[in-house]
């Protein structure tokens, strides 16, 4: 964050323009109401925040896994909603966040900073809770953040596809209603896309009239390099168990776009030799599996053939190193660049 930007929401840059969007940039024609604003998705680990972001944007912007703390940075996703009969045209700028938890390392503290920065200056909060779990003390931590922010909030009760008894849902709604004055409580299934149209209606109603901050073909501000690193990390999360997923991070070292082939080299960092052995696997099988699955996804995202080379390095206790953790932050990396050479837009689908 640069010093003069007092809100995280306002500091999101559309990469095409290299500066933060301002009111008036793409003012809709006079007389046509248009709603826009920043909406923060908040909740404890594994509630389904990233699944919801991807479902609403209609693109896979955030990686997903059954393991808690999959998301480590705030992820911006833009939903362009065309004008309809009962609905004004809108631009919803969503911020997916790491799960709210009590941090126990530099990485954990950085993740909670990402949560707080996403909350600053947003117009609306979507607090998402998993209906298959009882409200617990861990929910209260997220609820406290909502209360402290003073920002209006909708409560989303997610994973209703896993609920067989409707009575349970009503009881849960009552329980949450006692805890905070939510503008609305909406049952959804992010995975099955249930309840999302109603959710969009309520979000648009809650947003002020305003301009479109981003061009219509832009769905995120993430550099492609970072998305590539995340895709590799997702495959590590899916393929490994226990400590390995949490001890791993991925850095893209080389990204060379050719006419027919993009060459990518990435390093998977882990914390111990034993983890490296797991990541390599017998006869290199594990690394091969991770590499192939990641390459296929990257090729689909970029729409071009990819040559992906993966390296594994041990860096003990990197999660405890503030310097290392800060170095992973692509927003910070971009601040140091004079030319936007590292920013590639997603291809138009």
For residue 220, the minimal CB distance to Mg ion (Å) is: 14
- Token readout for 142 is 């997220």
Judged by beta carbon, residue 293 or residue 314, the one nearer ligand GDP is 293
- Token readout for 24 is 């008036």
Distance separating alpha carbons of residues 50 and 264, to the nearest angstrom: 25
Distance separating alpha carbons of residues 331 and 279, to the nearest angstrom: 28
Q: Of the candidates 12, 36, 50, 106, which one interacts with Mg ion according to CB under 5 A?
A: 50
Tokens 């007389």 appear where? 31
Distance separating alpha carbons of residues 95 and 93, to the nearest angstrom: 7
Within residues 137-196, the interface with ligand GDP by CB under 6 A covers: 158-159, 161-162, 189-191
For residue 158, the minimal CB distance to Mg ion (Å) is: 12
For residue 128, the minimal CB distance to Mg ion (Å) is: 10
When CB distances are held under 5 to 8 angstroms depending on the partner's kind, the choice from Mg ion, ligand GDP, none that residue 162 binds is: ligand GDP
Judged by beta carbon, residue 161 or residue 326, the one nearer ligand GDP is 161
When CB distances are held under 5 to 8 angstroms depending on the partner's kind, the choice from Mg ion, ligand GDP, none that residue 321 binds is: none
What is the size of the binding site for Mg ion (CB under 5 A)? Answer: 4
Assess contact for 129 and 155: CB atoms under 8 A: yes
Judged by beta carbon, residue 186 or residue 212, the one nearer ligand GDP is 186
298 membership: H or E segment, kind and range: helix 285-302
For residue 230, the minimal CB distance to ligand GDP (Å) is: 12
Q: Of the candidates 12, 36, 54, 71, which one interacts with Mg ion according to CB under 5 A?
A: 71
Contacts of 310 (CB under 8 A, 6+ apart): 232, 265, 266, 267, 268, 287, 290, 291, 294
Distance separating alpha carbons of residues 235 and 292, to the nearest angstrom: 9
Alpha-helical runs (H) found in 95-218 = 106-119, 137-149, 166-179, 196-206
Per-residue string for binding with ligand GDP, 51-90, x by CB under 6 A?
x------------xxx---xx-------------------
Query: Is the alpha carbon torsion for 342, 343, 348, 349 positive or negative?
Result: positive
For residue 124, the minimal CB distance to ligand GDP (Å) is: 18
- The residue range among 46-54, 86-94, 263-271, 300-308 that interacts with ligand GDP, by the rule CB under 6 A, is 46-54
In terms of Cα–Cα distance, which of 193, 222, 241, 226 is closest to 66? Answer: 241
Task: List residues near ligand GDP by CB under 6 A.
Answer: 43, 45-51, 64-66, 70-71, 99, 158-159, 161-162, 189-191
Task: List residues near Mg ion by CB under 5 A.
Answer: 49-50, 70-71
């Amino acid at each position: 964050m640069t010093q003069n930007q007092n809100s995280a929401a306002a500091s999101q840059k559309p990469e095409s323009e290299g500066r933060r969007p301002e009111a008036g940039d793409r003012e809709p024609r006079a007389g046509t109401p248009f709603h826009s604003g920043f909406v923060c998705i908040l909740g404890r680990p594994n509630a389904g925040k990233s699944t919801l972001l991807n479902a609403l944007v209609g693109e896979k912007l955030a990686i997903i896994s059954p393991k808690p703390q999959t998301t480590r940075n705030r992820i911006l996703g833009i939903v362009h909603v065309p004008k309809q009969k009962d609905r004004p045209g809108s631009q919803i700028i969503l911020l997916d966040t790491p799960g709210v938890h009590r941090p126990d390392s530099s990485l954990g503290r950085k993740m909670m900073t990402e949560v707080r920065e996403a909350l600053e200056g947003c117009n609306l909060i979507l607090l998402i809770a998993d209906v298959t779990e009882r409200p617990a003390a861990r929910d209260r931590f997220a609820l406290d953040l909502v209360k402290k922010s003073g920002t209006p909030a909708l409560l989303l009760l997610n994973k209703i596809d896993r609920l067989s008894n409707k009575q349970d849902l009503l009881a849960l709604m009552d329980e949450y209603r006692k805890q905070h004055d939510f503008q609305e409580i909406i049952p959804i299934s992010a995975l099955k896309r249930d309840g999302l149209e109603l959710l969009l209606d309520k979000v648009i109603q809650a947003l002020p009239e305003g301009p479109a901050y981003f061009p219509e073909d832009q769905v995120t501000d993430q550099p492609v390099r970072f998305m590539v690193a995340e895709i590799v990390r997702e495959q590590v999360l899916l393929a490994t168990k226990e400590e390995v997923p949490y001890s791993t991070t991925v850095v893209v070292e080389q990204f060379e776009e050719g006419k027919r082939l993009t060459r990518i080299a990435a390093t998977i960092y882990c914390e111990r030799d034993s983890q490296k052995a797991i990541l390599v696997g017998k006869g290199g099988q594990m690394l091969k599996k991770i590499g192939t699955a990641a390459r296929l996804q990257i090729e689909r995202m970029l729409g071009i053939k990819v040559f992906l080379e993966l390296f594994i390095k041990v860096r003990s206790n990197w999660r405890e190193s503030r310097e290392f953790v800060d170095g992973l932050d692509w927003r910070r990396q971009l601040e140091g660049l004079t030319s936007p050479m590292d920013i590639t837009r997603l291809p138009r689908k």
